[in-house]
């Protein structure tokens, strides 16, 4: 067990350096068998923060061995968030992005973490309790963001599917997402931001399983006033379930004076057009005001 944790610590470090992927894979192959039977939550320290994950879940295993569920967006956070920033994490899940935002924004910054799933809220608050410095500048808001206030049902993908985890829960019922989790509150995003902070918002991350377009529409005045940097998951299937599309989302942001960038390896940004969005299925983009 100790060897596995030590190997995982080395593996997480490897993912941060160019070319470290193959060394990390070798370390995982050598050591993961020592953790296969471990149930419940595992905590570990990384980059000055304490993370708490379930190794039996896809997301938890990736964070434990890689150091991040996906590194390119984390590299974006590291390059763009400055001390004193006011940040918002929409779809906070168990708090990976919230912790990084809090660390990078520092004591003079603010992080507003929005998560509607009761189980995820519990996990988010637990991980913040393990990180007093991050907890000090972070506020948890137990609701989701949309273009109107309403109570809706939260659905989970079918058991046995690759996305069957609470991080993939959605308010849009489909043939694949049909397990009722809970009734949750959604808030109009613009009003929610106005209530959360009196300061201008500098950075917003959105990963809310299809509600991205509705949340952006609800915060139109905030986008026009504050011009925050946006990090957005663009998942065609999820957006289609909500009656939207990547093309609609991209056009909405361009009409507000934003330029769109595809996040590539190690957080590099490549400008992307609306036409190019028509061929994407599941990517992360950055939107910056011109």
- Mean pLDDT per 10-residue section of the chain, whose length is 290 residues: 83 82 76 72 95 90 91 97 98 96 98 95 97 97 96 78 58 71 93 98 96 97 98 94 95 98 95 93 96
Calculated CA dihedral for residues 202, 208, 214, 218, nearest 10 degrees: -30
Q: Which residue has the tokens 């004076």?
A: 257
Residue 19: the pLDDT is: 74
Task: Name the token pair of 157.
Answer: 């993908």
How does DSSP classify residue 170? B
- Report which of 26, 80, 75, 89 is spatially closest to residue 47, judged by C-alpha positions: 75
Task: Name the token pair of 70.
Answer: 């996906």
Tell me the sheet residues that pair with 41.
Answer: 54
Whether 150 and 186 have beta carbons less than 8 Å apart is answered as yes
Residue 33: the pLDDT is: 72
Pinpoint the residues of the chain covered by CATH 3.40.50.150: 71-149+189-289
E strands, the chain, are 41-46, 49-54, 86-90, 110-114, 138-141, 144-146, 150-157, 177-188, 203-206, 229-235, 258-263, 269-271, 282-289
Q: Give the phi and the psi of residue 12 in degrees, each rounded to 5.
A: -60, -40
Sign of CA dihedral 274, 276, 282, 283: negative
Interatomic CA distance for residues 257 and 260, integer angstroms: 10
What CATH number was assigned to the domain covering residues 71-149+189-289?
3.40.50.150
Q: Give the phi and the psi of residue 269 in degrees, each rounded to 5.
A: -110, 135
Interatomic CA distance for residues 36 and 23, integer angstroms: 20
Whether 219 and 112 have beta carbons less than 8 Å apart is answered as no
Cβ contacts of 251-260, under 8 Å, gap ≥ 24: 252/213, 252/216, 252/217, 253/216, 253/287, 256/220, 256/223, 256/224, 257/289, 257/290, 258/223, 258/230, 258/287, 258/288, 258/289, 258/290, 259/287, 259/288, 259/289, 259/290, 260/285, 260/286, 260/287
| Residue-wise pLDDT tens digits, 137-151 | 999 999 999 999 999
pTM: 0.92
Q: Let me know how long the chain is.
A: 290
Residue 204: the pLDDT is: 98
Sign of CA dihedral 270, 275, 281, 282: positive
């Amino acid at each position: 067990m100790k060897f596995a944790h030590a190997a995982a610590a080395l593996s997480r470090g490897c993912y941060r350096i160019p070319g470290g992927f193959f060394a990390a894979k070798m370390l995982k192959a050598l050591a993961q068998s020592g953790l296969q039977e471990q149930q419940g939550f595992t905590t570990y320290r990384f980059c000055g923060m304490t993370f708490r994950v379930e190794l039996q879940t896809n997301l938890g295993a990736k964070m434990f061995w890689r150091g991040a569920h996906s590194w390119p967006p984390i590299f974006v956070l590291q390059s763009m968030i400055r001390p004193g920033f006011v940040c918002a994490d929409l779809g906070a899940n168990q708090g990976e992005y919230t912790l990084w935002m809090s660390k990078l924004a520092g004591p003079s910054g603010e992080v507003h973490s929005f998560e509607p799933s009761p189980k995820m809220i519990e996990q988010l608050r637990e991980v913040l309790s393990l990180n007093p410095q991050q907890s000090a500048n972070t506020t948890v808001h137990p609701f989701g963001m949309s273009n109107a206030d309403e109570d809706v049902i939260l659905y989970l993908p079918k058991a046995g599917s690759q996305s069957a985890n609470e991080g993939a829960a959605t308010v849009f019922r489909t043939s694949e997402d049909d397990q009722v989790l809970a009734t949750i509150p959604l808030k109009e995003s613009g009003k929610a931001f106005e209530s959360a902070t009196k300061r201008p918002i500098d950075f917003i991350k959105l990963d809310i399983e299809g509600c991205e377009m509705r949340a952006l529409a609800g915060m139109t005045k905030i986008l026009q006033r504050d011009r925050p940097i946006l990090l957005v998951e663009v998942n065609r299937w999820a957006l289609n379930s909500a009656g939207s599309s990547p093309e609609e989302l991209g056009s909405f942001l361009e009409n507000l004076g934003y330029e769109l960038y595809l996040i590539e390896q190690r957080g590099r940004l490549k400008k992307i057009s609306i036409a190019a969005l028509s061929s994407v299925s599941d990517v992360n983009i950055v939107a910056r005001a011109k």
